Amino acid sequence: MQTPAPVDYVRATSVENAIALLQEHGEEARLLAGGHSLIPMMKLRLARPEMLIDINDLDELRGIRVEGDEIVVGAMVTHAEVLDSPVLAEHYAIFREAEKVIADPIVRNKGTVGGSMCQADPSEDLSAVGSALKGSVVVQGASGRRTIPMREFHEGPYETKVGDGEILVEARYPVRPGAGSAYEKVERRVGDWPVCSAGAYVVVSGGVVTDCGIGLTAVGAEHFAAPEAEAFLVGKAPTEENLAQAAQLAADSCDPNSDQRGPADYKKHLAMELTLRALRRSAAASQGA
Amino acid sequence: MTAVEEVPTSAAGNPIGFGSMKRVEDQRFVRGQGNYVDDVNLPGMLHSAILRSPFAHARIKSIDTSAAEALPGVVAVITGKTLEGIPRPSLLGDNFAWMPTLSYDTQAVLATDKVRFQGQEVAYVIAESRYIAKDALELIDVDYDPLPPVMDAKKALDPDAPVIRDDKGQTDNRITDVHGNQTWESGNKEGTEAAFAAAAADPDCVIVEEDILYPRVHPAPMETCGSVSYLDKVTGQLTMYTTSQAPHAHRTVYAMVAGLPEHKIRIISPDVGGGFGNKVGVYPGYVLSVIGTIVTGKPVKWMEDRSENLMSTSFARDYHMKAKIAATKDGKILAVDVYVLADHGAFNGVAQPTNFPAGFFHIFSGSYDYPNAHCLVEPVYTNKAPGGVAYACSFRITEAAYVIERLVDCLAQELQMDPAELRLKNLIKPEQFPYTSPTGWEYDSGQYEKTMRLAMEMVGYDELRREQAEKRAKGEYMGIGISFFTEGVGAGPRKTMDILGLGMADGIELRVHPTGKAVLRLSVQSQGQGHETTFAQIVSHELGIPPEDIEVVHGDTDQTPFGLGTYGSRSTPVSGAAASVVARKVRDRARIVAAAALECSPDDLEWELGRWFVKGDKERGKTIQEIALLSHGALELPEGVEGHLDATAVYNPPNLTYPYGCYICVVDVDPGTGQVKIRRFVAVDDCGTRINPMIVEGQVHGGLADGVGMALMELIAFDEDGNNLGGSFMDYLLPTSMECPDWELGETVTPSPHHPIGAKGVGESATVGSPAAIVNAVIDAISPFGVRHADMPLTPANVWRAIQGNPVRVDMAVE
Amino acid sequence: MQVTITINGEQVTSDIEPRKLLVHFVREDAGLRGTHWGCDTSNCGACTLWVDGKPVKSCTMLAAQADGHELTTVEGLEQGGELDPVQKGFIECHGLQCGFCTSGMMMTGRALLDENPHPSDEEIREAISGQICRCTGYKNIVAAIQWAADNPATSEVTA
């Protein structure tokens, strides 16, 4: 098995301590949460930090709770906890549906929401979920906290707005009574990254879509979102034709690459097909079906 | 004889003979007490790592190892240049930088002039820990001069193709075998050509042609390859713990390659975590660990990473086939012809009998009765890892079974005939056995139609066809795929079958101790097949000694007789036969001893399980345990009869055995995404006598999972720059519990007439038969879209593109 | 750095490099070789053991992260000379062939049954979906875990 390059290790005792350690060690330090993105990269020697700051003792970054009109998910919440959370399930089916197809059950015991968001893989499912729900992340640095909308969070593949000396502390998702949500993923095999995933929430009221969000991953959708498709759908009845047209708009806004998971034309088609299926089920759920 | 006879149970609850006995080896495995090569730690042991080429084709201008040698903890760094400087005191080749392959080609141990595939071995580091060894790899500076690589087998013979084996003075990429042949042909060429010409001219006949690829895949056992080598300078003994399916063959090869005296070499294959043909060949890493111990005087461990395993050890298949079948319009097959472009990689390292350079591919005529078949195989070098024969292929029978079963389904589609009906019309009949196929195989026995009808009944074939029609009307797509395969295993008769000159007959040794307990020493080597249990059962069947009183020893060349190892499903047909033969020798000796003790003639005695008794006087007899004590005792034995109760044998099989089966797969395909879900899989196997049905079923389950993998997801593809795109488990996808259905197994039992217990072997049957069943099912599902064939792996993308009428080329990188 | 990890109830202390992977610590420093490794990319699950009672792929964790924590490995399944029902189930149902993936499969099976004493076949398949077996085709692994569910230990055993 491949092994990491030499590295130093320290455990943070609090969020402030983690920030101080980040500042002390600079660019060559990385935060270690679940480790299931970072350690594989270190073993392949694609990542060579000089210092690992282990934040697993930071219980203040754990927990899922509702705070007013937002659901707050701590950065150290694991994928397994998201999957099993009754709080999240009560509000959005999309969380459970997405987590069921993220990685595998054992990896989900360690991988964290904060870790996945900050790894910012262009195929990350949680990024599609977060963008679909128009969530935000809270980042803390020496000068305090700031909130960044998830649709502004990514600067590029594997790059986010989290600055040097900053740590993502929580993810926030708006509460939306009456919303139905769903997640659709095509993968070559269980546990694989998506060929394409699409997630959505839809609020249907008075026979029309009053609110919706569409998130896509692995297909080059800007900020993992499809705002043109959303704008089209709001105010319209959730008929098959309207949903299909919205799905096509979502696919049009994607720019997938051909790779071993599939050729670009197939991924474009999936962007349409999976968005359509997610919208269909979300609309039906919103209408109590 | 069949396997369903009632047998008595021993005191420990085991069948005295054949039956579903629990495995003795499980006791250590469930406790985590297995002993695999990476568990071996010898005093003073060093670790090692191999630097591998990032290029598929490049000249090596220089290698600077000084920084690596200076790293604290590094003991030695070896390059091809180092090895070139060590003359080899043996028959094969000038120096240690090159070694022979199992196909009489040469392969670099460490690259000297050029690297010829991505992942090829370039330098070897020996260090105090595996972490330091890997650190040192990064400090080795190799100056490469990249060359254009040959990645597309179809372009390997282009006149302007870069030449890969200039080390042999070649000017093209053709492979020449040890007999001087550059193509390999089998069957009846004139008759087949005439049959096709006649069919072409006949309006009541059809000819169906199809390009069918069996892509490059990899056995990928859960345990990677490795070795711990220790040359004791005082005794001169070389001990190697190694992941080998053929320890004795390896010992002889090391003796020849390294010039070491063979009686001073001990190869131990301890517990092996899966072989599947991946652990037959001798890899540079093993040789380097031997060189390492010679150089350092300490034990040296080499364990490869998974990426090394996937990128450099024996791949499987990579047969680009052009196949055609001629038949009458009412479904009688007339002739089959197959041309194969065989991609062997950069060195011809296929592990198969010398006289069979394309393995047993010429069994492609299949399970059907028709007079004319012909194949031509054209092998080429490419800038990829060497190999080809691996992954439970039964020496290329996976390729053969796949092509004929795909072709028959294409024919069925052309004729608009039900594929089951087409097969039933053509299956060889029971009275035709032993059946000589148009390519010269003598199938030993079979009740093909019976097996097929059982599979059809188990799956509910007719109801499924009705359901399919209803679903199609609603725009839902399900498919039913059949695969009927005949394979040949148990290589093989020494007259025709050898590997590197070593005949494929296997030795065996049985000793019965004075207190009636027995030890059986095998030449074959388990990698999970349960030999410690099943071979005891064979002896138990013959002698009536309870299985718990029989110890099976295997895997250590110092403790076991010579043989060619376990692969090609040969353990039961060859070594299982040997076990029966040697036990019968012991039984015959026991008869003489019993007669001496009972003061009668041996002819007066009759055998019942575990006992010789006087005919007509059943009370008067001796148990095998009593005879064991007597034979070690003071009893006077007849002139010329030796004491003790031991025997040896070398079994030279008269023929292969021919297990066969019928598999039926049911799938549901989502045309909007191309996703395939396997709903059901029925497998009816006939492997003759079933020694331990529980273990037989386990073997089938595992092979069926292989089919799911290859049909739907496994692939080693390359891009045009030479990059291996299947070099980790992130991209070389193996099936999990979610893709594998709940297998439904059935059996028929048609013993092999020439095997002492009628057993045929079953280890590879399911891997051979299953891919076609799944591919046939998927194609059947999407045939309404006008699809007649699409190549494996049928990933969602590939299925979708096939439906669009724009299939992808799977073996080269997507555009 | 020095780490102390409790494995199967016993403390193991060793001086290691921070980069040392937990699977290597268990196999080398603790001398427990029942936990295996089979890949480079956290896909195969041969290295699965429990950290604080939860299955984890130990190839994707540093030993340093486990400092002060509790591990359970396959060697800890047998209690008081009695095999765990999961271990018995694997023998009864031929749930293993080469044995290399078996430790990990049993650890996940045992963890599943501790949480869900009567899982469906589908739930078992999902629980082991992050682990690869090349020998068994999974059917008998599912049967083995079902056997353990149907034949639980008769006496209370503390971990």
pLDDT at B600 over 70: yes
Flag if B729 and C141 touch (Cβ within 8 Å).
Answer: no
Interchain contact B302–A (C-beta under 8 A): no
pLDDT for the residue B92: 55
Task: Find chain C residues with C-beta within 8 A of A49's C-beta.
Answer: none
What range does the domain containing A39 cover?
8-54
Q: Is residue C113 part of a domain?
A: yes
Question: Radius of gyration (Cα) for chain B, nearest Å?
Answer: 28
Do residues A156 and A217 share a domain? no
CATH number reported for the structural domain that contains residue A41 in this entry = 3.30.43.10
Same domain, A119 and A21: no
Instruction: Give B471-503 pLDDT, tens digit per residue.
Output: 999 999 999 999 999 999 999 898 899 988 898
Inside any domain, residue C159: no
C94, C60: one domain:
no
Q: How far apart are the CA of C87 and the nearest CA of chain B, in angstroms?
A: 6
Q: Cβ separation of A189 and B131 shorter than 8 Å?
A: no
CATH number, domain at A64? 3.30.465.10
Q: Is residue A2 part of a domain?
A: no
In chain A, % of residues over pLDDT 70:
100
Same domain? For C22 and C50 the reply is yes
pLDDT-derived band at B654, boundaries 50, 70, 90: very high
Rounded to whole angstroms, the Cα distance separating C156 from C159 reads 10
Residue C157 lies in a domain: no
Which among A260, A267, A277 is the top mutation candidate for probing chain B, defined by the most B β-carbons within 10 Å of its own β-carbon? A260
A163 inside domain:
yes
Q: Domain boundary at A125, A154, A174, which?
A: A174
CB atoms within 10 A of CB B671: 18
Residue C69 lies in a domain: yes
Residue C108 counted as domain residue: yes
| Residues A35 and A65 placed together within one structural domain of the fold | no
Residue A15 lies in a domain: yes
Which residues in chain A have their CB less than 8 angstroms from residue C45's CB?
A: 104, 106
Q: Minimal Cα distance from C122: which residue of B? A: B738
Residues A127, A215 within the same domain: no
What whole-number distance in Å separates Cα of residue B81 and Cα of residue B122? 10
Residue A3 is assigned to a structural domain of this protein = no
pTM of structure: 0.97
Asked if residue C64 and residue C6 are part of one domain, the reply reads yes
Q: Are residues A162 and A207 in the same domain?
A: no
Residue A139 counted as domain residue? yes
Mean pLDDT score, B442-448:
97
Does residue A187 sit in the same domain as residue A242? yes
CATH number of residue C127's parent domain? 1.10.150.120
Find the residue in C nearest to B275 (Cα). C98
pLDDT in tens, B282-336: 999 999 999 999 999 999 999 999 999 999 999 999 999 999 999 999 999 999 9
Test A191 with C62 for CB contact under 8 angstroms. no
- With the C-alpha atoms ordered B469, B472, B474, B477, is the resulting torsion angle positive or negative? positive
Same domain, C70 and C89: no
Beta strands (DSSP E) in B609-705 are 611-614, 617-623, 646-651, 660-670, 675-686
Question: Residue C53 is part of which domain span?
Answer: 2-76
Cα separation of B657 and B489, whole Å? 5
The domain that contains A228 carries what CATH number?
A: 3.30.390.50
**Number of domains forming the structure of chain A:** 3
> Do C89 and C72 have their domain in common?
no
Domains contained in chain C, number: 2
Residue of C65, C103, C107, C124 to mutate, testing the A interface (most A Cβ within 10 Å of its Cβ): C65
pLDDT at B395: 95
- Of A174, A200, A235, which residue constitutes the final position of a domain? A174
Q: List subunits contacting chain B, requiring 3 or more Cβ pairs under 8 Å.
A: A, C
Q: Is the Cβ pair B31, C140 closer than 8 Å?
A: no
Listed residues C58, C76, C94: the one ending a domain: C76
Place of tokens 């049967």: C143
Q: Are residues A71 and A168 in the same domain?
A: yes
Strand intervals (E) in B523-616: 550-553, 605-608, 611-614
For residues A49 and A130, membership in a common domain is answered with no
Q: Which residues of A touch B (CB under 8 A)?
A: 1-3, 5-6, 45, 186, 188-192, 195, 258-263, 265-266, 269-270, 273-274, 277
Classify residue A235: in a domain, yes or no: yes
Residue of chain A minimizing CA distance to C39: A1
Please check whether residue A73 lies inside any domain of the structure: yes
Nearest CA distance, C70 vs chain B (angstrom): 19
Interface of B with C in 212-251 (CB under 8 A): 219-224
pLDDT at B796 over 80: yes
Helices (H), chain A: 15-25, 38-43, 79-84, 86-91, 93-100, 105-108, 113-119, 125-132, 227-233, 240-252, 264-286
| Co-location of A134 and A167 in the same domain | yes
User: What are the tens digits of pLDDT across the range B736-768?
Assistant: 999 999 999 999 999 999 999 999 999 999 999
- ipTM (interface pTM): 0.97
The verdict on C95 and C64 lying in the same domain is no
**Among C76, C93, C124, residue at a domain's last position:** C76
| C49: CATH | 3.10.20.30
| Residue at A1 is within a domain | no
Q: pLDDT value at position B143?
A: 98
Task: Give the closest of A42, A52, A106 to C56, CB-based.
Answer: A106
- Among C50, C76, C102, the domain boundary falls at C76
- Mean pLDDT taken over chain C: 96
> How far apart (Å, rounded) are the C-alpha atoms in residues A8 and A198?
39
Q: Mark whether A63 and A170 lie in a shared domain.
A: yes
The answer, for B225 touching chain A at a CB cutoff of 8 Å, is no
Q: What is the pLDDT of residues A62-102, one digit of tens each?
A: 999 999 999 999 999 999 999 999 999 999 999 999 999 99
Are the Cβ atoms of C135 and B697 closer than 8 angstroms? Answer: no
Question: Does residue C114 form part of some domain?
Answer: yes
Q: Are residues A20 and A79 in the same domain?
A: no
Q: Identify the pLDDT of residue B3.
A: 46
Mean pLDDT within B588-616: 96
- Does C53 share its domain with C115? no
Residue ranges of the alpha helices (H) in B297-396?
306-312
Inspect the interface and report whether the beta carbons of B814 and A259 lie closer than 8 Å. yes
Do A76 and A140 reside in the same domain of the chain?
A: yes
B809 to chain A: closest CA residue: A263
Of A116, A141, A174, the residue at which a domain comes to its end is A174
From chain B, pick out residues whose CB is under 8 angstroms from the CB of C92. Answer: 22
Residues of A in contact with B736 (CB under 8 A): 189-191
DSSP state at residue A150: G
Residues C47 and C104 in one domain: no
By C-alpha distance, which of A63, A153, A164 is closest to A117?
A: A153
- Say yes or no: C72 and C6 in one domain: yes
Q: Are residues C99 and C133 in the same domain?
A: yes
Asked if pLDDT for residue A184 goes beyond 60, the answer is yes
Note whether C69 and C7 are same-domain residues: yes
Cα–Cα distance, B88 to B78 (Å, whole number) = 16
